[in-house]
Amino acid sequence: MYNFSKAKLVMLLGVASLAYTPAHAQLDSAMQAAKSSSASSAASQRQVEQLDDEADQMVREYRATLQQKDNIALFVDQQDIYLQSQISEIASLNRQLDTVEQIKQGMVPMMLTMTAKIEDSIRSDVPFNLEERLARVDRVKEVLANPNISPVEQYRQVLNIFKVEVSYGQGMDSYEGPHPKQAGNVVNFIRFGRVALVYVTKDESEIGRYNMETKDWDILSGDKAIEMRQAIRIANSEAAPTMVTVPVIIGQ
C-alpha cells in the first residue's frame, strides 16, 4: 500500500511538473520581454535626453555665433568710421604741410630782413656794450646761414635779439670798458636805460656823456662825479636804490 501510494505520488508529481513547465516558461519569457522593453525604454529615454541636451547646446552655440557676428559687424563699422577719420586727418595734414612749406619759404627772407634791421638799429643807437650786441647779431647770421638748423630755432634766435634789445630800455647798468677817445685807458660806463650813456674815469677827473645828435661825447662838469659814483654803486648792487639825476640832453 505504501509503495503504491509512493509510486503514484511520484507519478502525479511528474505529471504536475510536466504541466507546470510550459506555464513557467511563458512567465519567464513574458518577464524577460518586460525587462527588455523597460531597458529599451530607458535607453530610448536616455537617448532622447542626450539629443535634447545636444539640441540645447547647438541652440546656445548658434545664439553665441549670432552675437559674435553682430559684434564683428559693429567692430567693422567702428573701424570704417575710424578709417574715414584717419583719411580726413591725413588730407588735413597734407594741406597743412603745403601751408607750412609756403610759410617756410617766406620766413627766411623775413628773418634776414629782421636781422638786418636790428643790426642797423644797434649801430645807430647809443653805443653801450656795442661789441657784445654786434657779436650777438653775427651769431644769428650764422644760424640763418645754416641749413641744418630748423626755421623754428632760427626764428627763436632772431626774436631773442629783439627781446634783449628791448630789455636794454629798462633799468640801469654799469660796466668797465675802454675810454672812447683815449686808447689804453679804462673807464666806468653807466647806462640809464636808453636815455643816457655816461663814462667816468677811474680818478673821476673826467665825465663824458654820449650825444646822439652829434654822435660824439660831451664832457660834463666835475660836480656830477658824486652822483655818477652813487649811480655806479646802485647799478652794481653795492648801494640801496635811490633817486639819481640823469644827465640827459633836452630835445634829444
What is the pLDDT of the chain when averaged over all its residues? 82
**Residue extents of the structural domains in the chain:** 103-168, 172-247
Say if pTM beats, i.e. exceeds, 0.85.
no
Shortest CA distance to 229 belongs to which of 198, 250, 252? Answer: 198
- Top pLDDT among 159 and 8 is at 159
Shortest CA distance to 172 belongs to which of 105, 239, 106? Answer: 239
With a pLDDT cut of 90, the percent of the chain lying above it is 36
Q: How many residues does the chain have?
A: 252
Region 3-10: what's the mean pLDDT? 54
pLDDT tens, 53-67? 788 888 888 888 888
For the residues of 82-145, what is the DSSP string, one character each? HHHHHHHHHHHHHHHHHHHHHHHHHHHHHHHHHHHHHHHHHHHS--TTHHHHHHHHHHHHHHHT
Half-sphere exposure of 89 (CA within 13 A, CB side): 6
pLDDT at residue 95, rounded to an integer = 76
pLDDT tens, 116-133? 999 999 999 999 999 999
Asked if the model's pLDDT at residue 1 lies above 50, the reply is: no
Provide the 10 A C-beta neighbour count for residue 190: 27
pLDDT tens, 165-220? 999 988 889 999 999 988 889 999 999 988 899 999 999 889 999 999 899 999 98
